[in-house]
Amino acid sequence: MKMIKDLGEHNAIAALTANLKAVGDDCAVLPMTATHDLVLTSDPLIENIHFTAEATPEQIGHKAVCRVLSDFAAMGAEPQYLLVNVVAPPEQKFQTLEKIYAKFEVLWKTYGAEVVGGDLAQGPVLELHVFGVGRVPKGTALLRSGAKPGDQIYVTGSLGSAQKSGKHLTFTPRLEEGMWLRESGFVTSMMDISDGLATDLRHILKASMVGAELFSENVPMVGSLEEALYDGEDFELLFTSSETFDYPVIGKITDCPQELLLDGIPITDKAFEHFKGE
């Protein structure tokens, strides 16, 4: 009998969602009204997987919500409401949960996404499962599937060392940038960088049936190039366009399906993947 570790995160997701009808990548996009589409997403945050015991309650709350907000940013969508399911052990300090929820209110006032419900259950470690509801003007959600040969590849900020620097607990979700890029009408594909530049760019290449070449000297990075390619949890936006934008151009889209080069040399795919480890 095949086990989930035999497939890995991405193959398991592909198999389980093969027959789903919703359109979307980082989020599901569904018809809502004559003028807007409904945008739905969810993300778990689990102790010892996504944060450690050293993280403050404020940092835990920030990362739980902002991971979901980054999904909205990747689609160019406007977040509206959040639901939070909390799993916690019986010995969990209640004051920690109070501080996490206080952070939710700060984020609501900053980004306009209000926590309107959820649930509480017992489990072995602290977990926050956040479900987001948003909207986007009808037919305008940015997907991974529109990149074309000749497009330039852009990123909205520096990559790498997010866990070393603590950025993965304090990052700014690129909501304003995502909506502005969508409104420009010139972006052909977009997603956020959560699993590392090399891994996430491959998602765009697969969905668009194109290839890409990255230029190492153009990649804005904190730390080494290796960290920029594979560390993940940067939550910057990665997008393609034939137009000029005031963001770093880190590469170009080619007509060789799913081939990813770095300065002309094929890149190894070795980013972290749930159920497979490194």
Over the stretch 18-62, which tens digit does the pLDDT of each residue have?
666 555 677 999 999 999 999 999 999 999 999 999 999 999 999
* Exposure string for 237-252, b = 16+ CB within 10 A, e = fewer: bbbbbeeebebbebbb
The pLDDT value recorded for residue 1 is 76
The pLDDT value recorded for residue 268 is 76
The pLDDT value recorded for residue 169 is 98
Distance from the first to the final alpha carbon of the chain: 24
The pLDDT value recorded for residue 5 is 75
* Token digits of residue 14: 């592909």
Please state, in angstroms and as integers, the Cα–Cα distance from residue 275 to each residue in 44, 97, 278, following that order. 15, 28, 9
Torsion 142-112-41-251 (CA) sign: positive
CB neighbours of 106 closer than 8 A, spacing ≥ 6?
none
Q: Where are the alpha helices (DSSP H) in 150-224?
A: 162-165, 167-170, 175-184, 197-208
In the predicted model, residues of the chain with pLDDT beneath 70 are 7, 9-10, 13-24, 270-278
Q: pTM of the prediction?
A: 0.91
Helix axes 57-75, 94-111, angle to 10 degrees: 30
Q: How far apart are CA 57 and CA 95, in angstroms?
A: 9
The pLDDT value recorded for residue 10 is 66
The pLDDT value recorded for residue 59 is 98
pLDDT tens-digit series, residues 81-111: 999 999 999 999 999 999 999 999 999 999 9
Domains and CATH numbers, the chain: 4-137 (3.30.1330.10), 152-266 (3.90.650.10)
The pLDDT value recorded for residue 4 is 73
The pLDDT value recorded for residue 9 is 67
User: Count of residues for the chain?
Assistant: 278
- φ, ψ of residue 33 to 5 degrees: the values are -135, -175
